[in-house]
Amino acid sequence: MKIPYLFLLATLLLAPLAHADTDSVTAGTSDWSFVIAPYAWLAGTGGTITTDGVDQDFDLSFEDILDMTTGGFQIYTQARYKRFFVAFDGTWARLGDGEELLGGRIDFTVDQTIAEVQLGYRIAGPNFSASSPDAAAFVPWGVELDAYLGVRYWRTDISLNVDLPGVPPLIPPVQVSGSGTDDWYEPLIGARFRVGLTPTVGMSVFGNVGGFGIGDAADLTWTATLNVDWQFGQRWGVAFGWRTQSVEESSGSGVERNGSEILTTGPIVGFIYRF
């Protein structure tokens, strides 16, 4: 029965991908360029959850998570003006599980929303201004280096339904429905480095660090991704790679200690459209 892990999984399915080749080609007629990139992170997850000083390990494959997923969507968008850019990375996922028990049923549902906003600057590489001589195409073996600050919002909505017939007259029937919401904001800082291997193929390394225990945020979160991207045509591209994310949080001590150390890792794939 996977119900105890649904809350944990909901906090893990989030994932930026489309930093891949998001701006190696521009429309060439404006200082502005735009990117839309839907993607999927095919990850498994594992780690340790601590409740009242007791540690519990868990390990779930991508297939386990997929079995519990009833809906989801991930997208990255970016607007760039010369060397400045603003980006949005959003994830929504719904997971659910249920099991028959003592002639009744227990059902559990989690809705997870994660929204990230980035404000960044191109430190090195083409700026894709209409007046820039390197705006029309990416130079093989050229490099791009972006840095950004951002804010990530996490929201988790949980619902539980219990319907047990009991054993009259000894045990009365049990019918319970409940729901709850947990949400928080966390700051982050990140960077992206890309090198062009050919005029249409590039490799990117990017990541961010966030949380820092500010407010209700996690003590530390970090993400690292390696991508290979391929551009076909003037506007379309695909990207694939591997992404790893870590979330660490804790509070209290001794028998009152609560927290988690969770590592999520797996391949990512997405489509990129530029205009």
Q: Give the model's pLDDT for residue 270.
A: 92
Domains and CATH numbers, the chain: 3-274 (2.40.128)
Residue numbers of the chain with a pLDDT score lower than 50: 1-21, 23-28, 128-140
Cα(160)–Cα(148) distance, rounded to whole angstroms? 39
3-state secondary structure 20-77: CCCCCCCCCCCCEEEEEEEEEECCEEEEEEEECCEEEEEEECHHHHHHHEEEEEEEEE
C-alpha span between 229 and 155 (Å, rounded): 31
pLDDT number for residue 189: 97
Return the pLDDT at 163.
Answer: 81
- pLDDT for 208 equals 94
| CB burial of residue 107 (10 Å; 0-12, 13-18, 19+) | middle
pLDDT, residue 213, reads 87
Residue of 266, 271, 273, 272 lying closest to 41 (CA atoms): 266
CA-wise closest residue to 147 among 127, 167, 123: 123
Residue 219's SS3 state is coil
Residue of 92, 44, 96 whose CA lies nearest to 70: 96
pTM: 0.76
Cα(72)–Cα(125) distance, integer angstroms: 35
Phi-psi region of 33 (alpha: psi -120 to 50; beta: other; left: phi over 0): beta
**∠ CA 228-234-240 to the nearest 5 degrees?**
15
E strands, the chain, where? 32-41, 44-51, 54-60, 69-81, 84-101, 104-124, 143-164, 174-196, 201-211, 220-232, 236-251, 258-274
pLDDT at position 192: 94
- pLDDT recorded at residue 98: 72
d(CA 62, CA 240): 17
DSSP 8-state secondary structure symbol assigned to residue 234:
T
In this predicted structure, what is the pLDDT of residue 141? Answer: 55
CA distance 74 to 39: 6
pLDDT at 29: 54
Angle at 80 between CA 89 and CA 234, to 5 degrees: 95
For residues 208 and 190, the answer to whether their CB atoms sit within 8 Å is: yes
User: Positive or negative, the Cα torsion across 221, 264, 113, 74?
Assistant: positive
User: What are 181's strand-pairing partners?
Assistant: 157
